[in-house]
């Protein structure tokens, strides 16, 4: 009876909405049975399972007959059974793989990859990400070089540092932490990183190649690359699937859509001007959300069995937390986990993959530059 208990105790926390009810009513016909191949049919009266097929890739749906007034109506609930895509664990595996390759490279050709990071201004979150990048480099054996510049520094200063790193043979990857202060032209700065060292993959030439059939970018942006890597490592098929990307930012949404398309998904992009976004997301087999809006994607936006990759990392007030806030994604996790077949948590989903992919891109760059395979 564990199934019934799970369904009965499904809770919708701070992101519940009127449209996200725990159960829908539908009329039970043989047609409905075929629509739910992974379904366990449960009789409320006998309280026994009548029929069930279980596939761990899809959430188990519980269909139970409603008691009194409408005998032909049944209640459908979805058991909380989505696979939790553990980005923290996958990122750790990738870091270990990178470390093994780096020590092999060092042993064979005496080269140690180097990553240069430029941080402008005093945003706390950016400083944390840069610190974590340095720690991650240390842990896998990448040399890291860091330049910190004040909020009011000039674009020229940033460009000078980039130019020096472009010419430095001990540096194989260069990145400028984003966002930049508003007085700076982000395009000018990103254009200055030489394409062979553009481990963030933000150079317009890299993005252009990503968009073109038959062309290969030197590097793919880390967060979208991490999203696809998670799908691969969880054996989630992409080819021929309907994918919806929510958000069209240069660093996540747009490249994520291009990557999905390269993987032969049929891709739609939902953005701030999209009318009735839920009508589009509801058709998706795969949703990648990168909008930065806490709990925007409700359970009712999700097709049963869909896979959800939540890129949002949004702080929300939480007096119970020692920090006074906690992080939530763009997707209402408590609702979506009962409907999706697989979902990334926040934190611990896509976030850790960003830095893992950066290490992997830096290794790739060093291998290319030194012709080491
Ligand atoms: N030049 C770049 N700037 C930015 C990038 C980028 O890829 N290149 N991405 C983001 C920030 N970012 C890395 O720079 C990043 C974001 C989140 C995480 C992460 O591990 N998040 C954790 C939660 C962390 C926390 O507790 O605060 C998680 O989701 O589990 C790593 C890196 C914008 N700028």
CA 358 vs. chain centroid, Å, equals 15
> Residue 81: what pLDDT?
82
Q: Which residue has the tokens 């980039």?
A: 162
176 CB contacts (<8 Å, ≥6 apart)? 117, 118, 120, 158, 162, 189, 190, 193, 200
Q: Is 28's C-beta closer than 6 angstroms to any atom of ligand 1?
A: no
Three-state SS sequence of the chain:
CHHHHHHHCCCCCCCCCCCCCCCEEEECCHHHHHHCCCEEEECCCCCCEEEECCCCCCCCEEEEECCCCCCCEEEEEECCCCEECCHHHHHHHHHHHHHHHHHHHHHHHCCCCEEEEEEECCCHHHHHHHHHHHHHHHHHCCEEEEEEECCCCCHHHHHHHHHHHHHCCCCCEEEECCCCCCCCCHHHHHHHCCHHHCCCCCCHHHHHHHHCCCCCCCCCCHHHHHHHHHHHHCCCCCCCCEEEEECCCCCCHHHHHHHHHHCCCEEEEECCCCCCHHHHHCCCCEEEECCCCCCCECHHHCCCCCEEEECCCEEEECCCCCCCEEEECCECHHHHCCCCCEECCCCCCCHHHHHHHHHHHHHHHHHHHCCCC
CA distances from 203 to 124, 186, 353 (A): 25, 11, 20
CA distances from 101 to 77, 139, 217, 218, 225 (A): 47, 13, 22, 19, 19
ipTM above 0.90, yes or no: yes
The model's pTM: 0.83
Q: Is 347's C-beta closer than 6 angstroms to any atom of ligand 1?
A: yes
188 CB contacts (<8 Å, ≥6 apart)? 155, 159
> Residue 356: what pLDDT?
98
Catalytic site residue 293?
no
pLDDT in tens, the chain (373 residues): 333 322 322 222 356 443 333 322 222 222 232 333 333 323 322 332 222 223 444 444 444 443 444 444 444 444 558 999 999 999 999 999 999 999 999 999 999 999 999 999 999 999 999 999 999 999 999 999 999 999 999 999 999 999 999 999 999 999 999 999 999 999 999 999 999 999 999 999 999 999 999 999 999 999 999 999 999 999 999 999 999 999 999 999 999 999 999 999 999 999 999 999 999 999 999 999 999 999 999 999 999 999 999 999 999 999 999 999 999 999 999 999 999 999 999 999 999 999 999 999 999 999 999 999 9
User: Which member of 75, 86, 177, 298 is catalytic?
Assistant: 177
Distance, in Å, from the CA atom of 189 to the CA atom of 125, rounded to the nearest integer, reads 20
User: Which member of 60, 86, 133, 330 is catalytic?
Assistant: 133
75 CB contacts (<8 Å, ≥6 apart)? 23, 24, 25, 44, 63, 64, 65, 66
pLDDT in tens, 46-62: 332 222 223 444 444 44
> Residue 14: what pLDDT?
55
Give the neighbor-by-neighbor strand order of the sheet with 114-120.
143-149, 114-120, 173-176
Q: Is 315's C-beta closer than 6 angstroms to any atom of ligand 1?
A: no
Residue 76 sits at φ, ψ, to 5 deg, of: -115, 125
Give the neighbor-by-neighbor strand order of the sheet with 242-246.
83-84, 342-343, 307-310, 286-289, 242-246, 266-270
Catalytic site residue 200?
yes
Cα angle 316-321-322, degrees, rounded to a multiple of 5:
120
Domain ranges of the chain: 2-78, 111-216, 222-353
| Best mutation site among 197, 249, 250, 351 for ligand 1 pocket (most ligand atoms within 8 Å of CB) | 351
Pair of tokens at residue 39: 């379904």
User: Which member of 198, 200, 285, 310 is catalytic?
Assistant: 200
Distance, in Å, from the CA atom of 38 to the CA atom of 28, rounded to the nearest integer, reads 15
Q: Is 344's C-beta closer than 6 angstroms to any atom of ligand 1?
A: no
Tell me if the domain spanning 111-216 has CATH number 3.40.190.10: no
Distance, in Å, from the CA atom of 151 to the CA atom of 120, rounded to the nearest integer, reads 6
Evaluate whether 111-216 and 222-353 have a shared fold.
yes
> Residue 144: what pLDDT?
98
Pick among 3.50.50.60, 3.90.190.20, 3.40.50.720, 3.40.50.620: CATH of 222-353:
3.40.50.720
């Amino acid at each position: 009876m564990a199934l019934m208990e799970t369904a009965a105790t499904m809770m919708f926390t701070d992101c519940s909405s009127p449209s996200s009810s725990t159960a829908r009513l539908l009329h039970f016909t043989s047609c409905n049975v075929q629509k739910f191949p992974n379904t366990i049919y449960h009789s409320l009266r006998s309280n026994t399972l009548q029929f069930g097929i279980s596939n761990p890739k899809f959430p188990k749906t519980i269909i139970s007959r409603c008691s009194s007034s409408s005998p032909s109506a049944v209640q459908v609930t979805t058991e909380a059974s989505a696979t939790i895509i553990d980005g923290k664990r996958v990122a750790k595996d990738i870091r270990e793989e990178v470390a093994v390759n780096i020590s092999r490279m060092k042993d064979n050709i005496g080269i140690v990859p180097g990553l240069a990071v430029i941080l402008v201004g005093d945003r706390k979150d950016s400083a944390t990400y840069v610190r974590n990048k340095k720690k991650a480099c240390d842990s896998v054996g990448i040399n890291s070089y860091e330049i910190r510049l004040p909020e009011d520094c000039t674009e020229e200063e940033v460009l000078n540092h980039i130019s020096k790193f472009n010419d430095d043979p001990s540096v194989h990857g260069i990145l400028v932490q984003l966002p930049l202060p508003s007085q700076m032209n982000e395009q000018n700065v990103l254009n200055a990183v030489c394409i062979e060292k553009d481990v963030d993959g933000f150079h317009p030439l890299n993005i252009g190649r990503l968009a073109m059939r038959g062309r290969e970018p030197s590097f793919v942006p880390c967060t979208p690359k991490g999203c696809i890597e998670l799908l691969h490592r969880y054996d989630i098929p992409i080819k021929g699937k309907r994918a919806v990307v929510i958000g069209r930012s240069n660093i996540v949404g747009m490249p994520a859509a291009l990557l999905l398309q390269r993987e032969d998904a049929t891709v739609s992009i939902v953005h701030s001007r999209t009318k009735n976004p839920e009508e589009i997301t509801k058709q998706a087999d795969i949703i990648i959300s990168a909008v930065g809006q806490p709990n925007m994607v409700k359970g009712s936006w999700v097709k049963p069995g869909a896979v959800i990759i939540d890129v949002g990392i949004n702080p929300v007030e939480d007096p119970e937390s020692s920090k006074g806030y906690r992080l939530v994604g763009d997707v209402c996790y408590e609702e979506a986990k009962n409907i999706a077949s697989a979902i990334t948590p926040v934190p611990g989903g896509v976030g850790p993959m960003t830095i893992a992919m950066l290490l992997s891109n830096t290794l790739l760059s060093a291998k290319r530059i030194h012709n080491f395979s």
